Copies of this chain bind each other. A is one copy, B any other.
Amino acid sequence: MTVYNFSAGPGVLPATVLDQIQTEMKSFNGSQMSILEISHRSKQYEEMELEAEKDFRDLMNIDDSYAVLFLHGGGTLQFTNIALNLTDKYHHVAYVDSGHWAQKAMEAAQKIDGLQVDRIGSSDNNLPKISAPDDDPLDYLHITTNNTIEGTTYHQIPNSTQPLVADMSSNIMAQPYDVNQFDLIYAGAQKNIGPAGMAVVIVKRDRLTSHPELSEIMDYWLEDQKHSALNTPPVFCIYAAGLVFKWLKKFGGVPAIYQQNLEQAKLLYDYVDNSKLFNNSVAKDERSLTNLVFGTGNKQLDQQFIADAADKGLVNLAGHRLVGGMRASLYNAMPTAGVKALINQMKQFEMNHGGF
């Protein structure tokens, strides 16, 4: 049975990447040592890390005025780190409240002594506007480009007079964004980048200054000086991410995968919009390409759909426990065959459960 994994993360990875990891697990680059055994002070590691960084810069069009950091701690530690590293000037930031993870990011900032944290908008209805008053300078205005739980996305980022910081955890490299619009972008790896256990930070170098009061690995300036290897880095995650970057470059880069993501999302949203059983209540211009939420409006029916689908190899379709329903996460590595199989399953279920 073919298994399609719709998990919101850790999620599906490209099959050819898994092939390569498997093939070279016992000898990385001819070394007769596993990538898991390679010293982070070795030439093999340094070359691997540099290449991963270069490929990532190519994919996202990142120039040298930005640092690219591969860090420990997932997105959650970065919630804290951005608020500690970027707030020296005004001690004032604002967070656009577009959903659960935006709130988590804001709550982490609220813990910082002496930092004023404003909340912009509310996630109760449509996505709040990305804007903050011009006359009150902020260290940054924080946004979450894609809301993993709610299934919403800011497809266009307006120019802001305030410096933008973006959590792109769940749609980095899924659609094109102009890095130059942001002072900082961060993302947990475990969705479109690679295995869990790493976060990627892209940050304007002119925003970085030494923070000797912080734990060394929380100081972005120092991590940039040390090329993300201040302490032993998450070597395997960087390696696997590097393979994903190479796979995506070969695929045609972000513009090409964006086309595929648009097509896949259209297939599923079109089906849902025409369904008599399933529905999606997100405004059309805010719908996520990576996390597609839908439901029948009936808890028991949702549970049954999720169980039936799992029996057919369509797994991890349960919505987040906070919102219920279903969620299909169509990250870059999801093949279109998986989306079609899901839609077939939905059609079958709709036939059997009286959507008409």
Contact = CB atoms under 8 A, between A and B. Distances in A.
Contacts of A40: 10, 196
A43 to B, nearest CB: 11
A1 B79 contact: no
A36 B7 contact: no
Interface stretch (A152-160, A212-220, A280-288): A212-220
Contacts of A26: 18-19, 22
Contacts of A216: 76, 108
Interface in A229-244: 230-237, 240
Interface residues of A, number: 63
Contacts of A72: 72-74, 77, 197
Contact of A111 (B21, B108, B214): B214
B75 A231 contact: yes
A332 to B, nearest CB: 13
Given A13-B34, A18-B26, A196-B236, A8 B77 contact: no
B76 A73 contact: no
Interface string A8-40: 111111000011011001100001111011111
Contact of A39 (B3, B8, B31): B8
Nearest to A215: B80
Work out how many copies of this chain go into the complex. 2
Contacts of A11: 37, 39
Nearest to A25: B22
A39 B75 contact: no
A42 to B, nearest CB: 7
A37 B25 contact: no
Nearest to A11: B37
A104 B1 CA distance: 52
Contact of A316 (B42, B190, B215): B42
A248 interface: no
A195 interface: yes
Interface string A171-204: 0000000000000000010100011111000000
A331 B218 CA distance: 29
Contacts of A313: 32
A291 interface: no
A199 to B, nearest CB: 9
Given A10-B38, A40-B196, A72-B73, 15 more contacts: A7-B38, A8-B39, A12-B33, A13-B34, A13-B36, A22-B26, A72-B74, A73-B73, A73-B217, A76-B217, A77-B218, A77-B231, A80-B215, A188-B232, A190-B235
A74 B217 contact: yes
A215 B79 contact: yes
Q: Which of A74, A111, A195 counts the most chain B CB atoms within 10 A? A: A195
Interface in A45-83: 72-77, 79-80
A261 interface: no
A228 interface: no
A5 interface: yes
A5 B108 contact: no
A217 B315 CA distance: 28
Given A11-B37, A36-B10, A231-B74, A195 B236 contact: yes
B74 A197 contact: no
Contacts of A32: 1-3, 313
B234 A197 contact: yes
